[in-house]
Amino acid sequence: MSFVEYGDTIKDGDTAIVFLGHESMFPVKVQHGTVTQTKYGVIRHSTDLIGKKYGSKVTCSKGGWVFILHPTPELWTMNLPHRTQILYSTDISIITMMLELKPGSIVCESGTGSGSLSHALIRTVAPTGHLYTVEFHQQRAEKAREEFREHGVEHLVTVTNQDVCKNGFGVSNIADAVFLDIPSPWEAIGHAKSALKAEGGRICSFSPCIEQVQRTCLAMEEYGFTEINTLEILLRVYNVRTISLQIPDLGKAAEDNSSTGFDSSNPSSQGSPCSNLQQGAVQFKSSVPLREMVGHTGYLTFATKS
């Protein structure tokens, strides 16, 4: 099993996603002799999972059933264990596009955190690219290495435990893109410039506060970055529902004829919509935004090394 290479069959040691519904799913590490409890009953790994195809419908001990899905960066973002706040697919999608990432790209990232963005970056640059990710916190760095190894992507990523603001990324003049998600990104702009290739490399900084954005933009200008711009991505979800409205009573057809000059002797007037309109109700689909929504998450500042 690998997050960048699809496999058909569930194997011992795989990470799989147990799908109970769109709002209910969780990851599980498949192991011989292990069982997983769900609200529909027990899933026995040896008999219910190992050897079955991904996407299979598995019946639990209470008679309910679940689907077992192959992991992807998108599913992992929704189900990963949170060690820090994470980036979600709304921001991740614009980051990968604006950094112009593709298979073979070299990317530097700080900090690694829970690895939500890291998995998406690895999938984007595979199979010939590489991710250099720096994490200040030692235990988070060790946990990230363990997850990358379990997910079959350790050959595409190098995890370093150090302070990027003091020691940089550990590489020079090779990166196509740099991503910063740290409290003081302006202190790492110089190291980011050193890590980027000689010309045309892209940088992105994620910050929740506009004051951080202002200081980061000033640092980017100081180090000669161009095309500096800041975006805020908001996700707005709509609730689709069926509603019923009464058709208005516009009066009898005869009254409408006399008041509007309707000529019943005129053949072209026969079958007019007004003559067939009857009081009743009509149903149709309508959509309204949810009363509560996830608003501001952070600002994304992009720039180009000139």
Binding site feature residues for S-adenosyl-L-methionine = 114-117, 135, 163, 181
How many alpha carbons fall within 13 Å on the CB side of residue 149? 7
Residues 6 or more apart whose Cβ sits within 8 Å of residue 23: none
CA distances from 37 to 26, 28, 161 (A): 11, 11, 36
Residue 202: phi, psi to the nearest 5? Answer: -110, 150
How is residue 168 written in tokens? 């940089």
3-state secondary structure of 269: helix
Binding residues: 114-117, 135, 163, 181
CB count within 10 Å of CB 79 equals 16
Under 8 Å between Cβ of 2 and 42: no
Return all residues near 41 (Cβ < 8 A) that are at least 6 apart. 60, 61, 62, 63, 64
How many C-beta atoms surround the C-beta of residue 292 within 10 A?
7
Six-digit token string for 90: 């709304």
User: How far apart are alpha carbons 206 and 183 in whole angstroms?
Assistant: 9
- Amino acid residing at 265: S
Q: How far is CA 193 from CA 10, 108, 176, in A?
A: 43, 11, 11
The structure tokens listed for 206 are 């994620």
Structure tokens at 184: 């003081």
